[in-house]
Amino acid sequence: MNAPAPASVNTIVVEHLVKKFGDLIAVNDISFDVRQGEIFGLLGPNGAGKTTLIRMMTTLTPPTSGTAIVAGHDITKDADGVRHAIGVIPQAFTSDPELTAYENMLLHAKLYGVPADRRDRLIDELLESVNLTRFRDAFVKTFSGGMRRRMEIARGLVHSPNVLFLDEPTTGLDPVSRTNVWEMIRALRDRSDLTILLTTHYMEEADKLCDRIAIVDHGRLVALDTPGNLKDNVPGTDTVEAEFVGAPKDWAEQLRALPQAANVVERDGAFHIGSHEGPATVAALMDLARSRGVMVKRVTVQGTTLDDVFVHYTGSDLRDTTQRGRLDVSHLYK
């Protein structure tokens, strides 16, 4: 399941990390490596254990068993060393809304012991890099979600860390702010040798940003590879999605016999057919439907996505799983 061991130095080495909350196993024996300078993504639905995993790696939560070496420091034996070497942007906003952007960054620079003669220059450079120079002396409470997130990412870099942890950096942001944050993370990677570990439940985010992705589900690591390799591992290079009216009970079986069809999954009333050649499968599918008297309501063809990867490895849609993880309060609105 693990990708081939990278040639360069591993900045993060996670070894059999386990976290239990009573009977609940939030993280179940997870191991992986992150090499220096890469953007590594932890992809999974809400409640998969991503935040618990990142909290253990950033020394915010003690592991039940196992350990991790972050920038050469053991999280169980040298928490202080880990904290000096990392920058952390937690999932919730942690900047003080009653302070300005500059004051928030200054506070963190002081907490990290950044020398006084370097602080102002560093803060100004970082604010410039996140396009917030104009808002240096504005109160954070006046910022939009995207601005605040960018400021917090800049704050996490104020002590020049080796590793940056971002826990769901774009959750709750509008599409424009999300794109801005993505660009910023890419620019960070391009400009420095910074290792970035981020968690997300957005497929697109993981696909566009990450060099490698670890898929986490129910506290377990179910797949780890580059986005390209993960997609290649899914049977079929295209996915044909179709909805029918009047389909017989054995329709999935009949679809599986179509030329080039690799696998068929029925979800939400639609059939997802993994195919080695989408257009040929569609033509055959239309012929089959016509001959069986089944009406084709809708049909689309697309290349394999991380969504298909997730379904392939976990057996369920990420959106479904995310929804399952949430508390059902629909009865309150009836």
Partner 1 sequence: MKFYRVWALIERDLRKFFRSPALMMVSMIFPLVQLLVLGYAFGGKIKNAPVAFVDLDRSVESRKVREMFQAIAAGPQTFRIVDYNNLPDAIQDLRSGFVRGVIQIPHDFSERYFQKNRPRISFSEDNTDQFISTALESEIQGMVNQLNSPSVHSALNQQVALDVVEVYPYIEYAKFLLAGAVTLGIFSVAMIGGGITFIDDKSRGLHEGYLVTPIHKSELVFGLIGAGAIKGLMAGMCLAIIGGLMVGIPRLWDPVRLAYIACVIFAASLAMMSFMFLLMVRVSDPLVPRAIFGVLNTLLYFPSGAVYPIEAFPSWLRWIATVDPLTPIVHALQNLTLKNTGIEGIYGDVLVLLGFTVLMTAGCIALFQRQL
How many of the other CB atoms lie within 10 Å of CB of 229? 15
Among the residue ranges 16-24, 76-84, 246-254, 263-271, the one whose residues contact partner 1 (CB under 8 A): 76-84
4 vs 113 by CB, closer to partner 1: 113
3-state helix, strand, coil in the chain (%, to 5): 40, 30, 30
**Contact flag: residue 193 with partner 1 (CB under 8 A):** no
Residue selected from 26, 40, 44, 55 as contacting partner 1 according to rule CB under 8 A: 55
| Least distance between partner 1 and beta carbon 136 (Å) | 15
State both tokens at 167.
């826990």
To the nearest whole angstrom, how small is the minimum distance from the Cβ of residue 37 to partner 1?
A: 22
Shortest CB 146 distance to partner 1, Å: 17
Left if phi > 0, otherwise alpha if psi is -120 to 50, otherwise beta: which for 190? alpha
Give the pairing type, strands 24-35 and 163-167.
unpaired
- State how far the Cα of 235 lies from the Cα of 273, in Å rounded to an integer: 10
Interacting residue with partner 1 among 19, 50, 108, 231 (CB under 8 A): 108
Nearer to partner 1, 11 or 58 (CB): 58
Q: How far apart are CA 206 and CA 97, in angstroms?
A: 29
Site for partner 1 (CB under 8 A): which residue of 4, 5, 23, 92? Answer: 92
103: contact with partner 1 by CB under 8 A: yes
Residue 193 near residue 300, CB atoms below 8 Å: no
**Closest separation in Å from C-beta 89 to partner 1:** 9
Of 87, 79, 34, 73, the C-alpha closest to 59 is 79
Q: Which of 80, 117, 268, 328 binds partner 1 (CB under 8 A)?
A: 80
> Is residue 84 a contact point for partner 1 (CB under 8 A)?
yes
Q: Is 90 in the site for partner 1 (CB under 8 A)?
A: yes
Tally the C-alpha atoms within 13 A of residue 137's C-alpha that lie toward its C-beta. Answer: 1
Stretch that binds partner 1, among 10-18, 28-36, 53-61, 244-252 (CB under 8 A): 53-61
Instruction: Strands of 100-186 (E only): list them.
Output: 163-167
Classify burial at 331, counting beta carbons within 10 Å of its beta carbon; exposed 0-12, middle 13-18, buried 19 or more. Answer: exposed
Residue type at 6?
P
- Segment interacting with partner 1 (CB under 8 A) among 109-117, 181-189, 205-213, 262-270: 109-117
Q: Is the Cβ of residue 107 or residue 294 nearer to partner 1 in the bound state?
A: 107
Residue type, 181: V
- In angstroms, the CA 156 to CA 109 distance is 9
User: Binding residue for partner 1 (CB under 8 A) from 33, 49, 57, 61?
Assistant: 61
Smallest gap, in angstroms, from Cβ of residue 265 to partner 1? Answer: 38
Q: Applying CB under 8 A, which residues contact partner 1?
A: 55, 58-62, 80, 83-84, 86, 88, 90, 92-96, 98-99, 103, 107-108, 110-113
